[in-house]
Amino acid sequence: MGSYVFNNGRAHGYPLYQIWIISFFTSLLFEWIMPQCTTYNTGDIADVAAYFAGGLFYFCFHQSFYIKKNHQLIQERNNKQKFTL
């Protein structure tokens, strides 16, 4: 929603390095820092792999679908506006 609002109605795609950075800091926080600060959190290397796999899935599949879908919706909205003017 935020990238749609701040990009004037254009869908925004994130480069892979930004997704890796988000995955890294998320795994650092939830799998290393939080288990040291609390007794009810545990760190697991499989979860770290899952964060990066989820980021890769988002980059390869979901992001392209999101951009394509929003591009079509914007075109439909623009076509409706042409007819209402």
Residue 7 domain-assigned? Answer: no
Q: Would you state the pLDDT for residue 83?
A: 61
Cα angle for residues 28, 34, 35 (degrees, 5° grid): 105
Q: Would you state the pLDDT for residue 13?
A: 80
Residue 41 domain-assigned? Answer: yes
For 73, phi then psi, to 5°, come to -65, -40
Residue 78 domain-assigned? Answer: yes
HSE toward the beta carbon, residue 5, CA cutoff 13 A: 2
Residue 4 domain-assigned? Answer: no
* Token pair 């929003």 in the structure block, residue: 70
The domain of 66 spans 14-84
| Number of independent structural domains in the chain | 1
Residue 3 domain-assigned? Answer: no
Q: What is the pLDDT of residues 12-62, one digit of tens each?
A: 788 899 999 999 999 999 999 999 999 998 999 999 999 999 999 999 998
Of 76, 66, 51, nearest in space to 14 by CA: 66
